[in-house]
Amino acid sequence: MRAMSERLLFQRTGANVETWNARIAAATPGDEAALRAWLAERGVTGYAQMMLVMERFGYPDFLTAGADELINAQYADRPALRPLLDALLAAAADLSAVVVQARKTYVTLVTPRRTFAQIVPATRDRIDLGLRLPGAELGARLLAPGSKMAETITCRIALTGPQDLDAETLGHLRRAAEANR
């Protein structure tokens, strides 16, 4: 995430993180709100702004944790779902050019173009596989996205065990990856 934010900062401003950190140090904004306002005045918004604020005031633990730490924490109280997550990640590894990104409460699957899937431990006995499949008809397996899903996710599949990770589910996962390349 930091690498993406660094890239966005450079694309939008032509200056790297070190340059911006020096500018911030010279400006000495007193608190987070003042820094955000100062950055916004200079056209630094969104992820780039968030990163620079954290550079100044510190990164939260979940952003400095490794992927294994984040995923282990997500499934600590639902160990029966971990094999299902591992099977989903193995299926994603079979797709070409897919990157797995662990977050504090979910895992995303990303093509070089954008996020196409979100894996959320929704309850103690269910994983929701959110997919970016615009135009897909909702029905028996494809449900409306859950409230914990990113706004770009258009549908989800509820998974409670290995039996749910069947050819149909894997086909939807593959379609989502291909549609978002």
Give the confidence band of 4 by pLDDT, cuts at 50, 70, 90: confident
Buried b (16+ CB within 10 A) or exposed e, 71-90: beebbeebeebbebbeebee
CA distance 17 to 142: 42
| CA neighbor of 178 nearest in space, from 119, 86, 96 | 96
| CA neighbor of 94 nearest in space, from 179, 180, 4, 171 | 171
Give the pLDDT confidence score for residue 150 in this predicted structure: 85
CA distance 79 to 88: 15
List pLDDT tens digits, range 80-127: 999 999 999 999 999 989 999 999 999 999 999 999 999 999 999 999
Q: What is the pTM of this model?
A: 0.72
Mean pLDDT of 41-59: 93
Q: For the chain, what are the domain ranges?
A: 2-59, 67-179
List pLDDT tens digits, range 128-145: 999 999 999 999 899 999
CA distance 48 to 72: 28
What is the distance of C-alpha 32 from the center of its chain? 24
CA distance 157 to 72: 22
List pLDDT tens digits, range 12-34: 999 999 999 999 999 989 899 99
Q: Give the number of other Cβ atoms within 10 Å of residue 52's Cβ.
A: 22
**How long is the chain?**
181
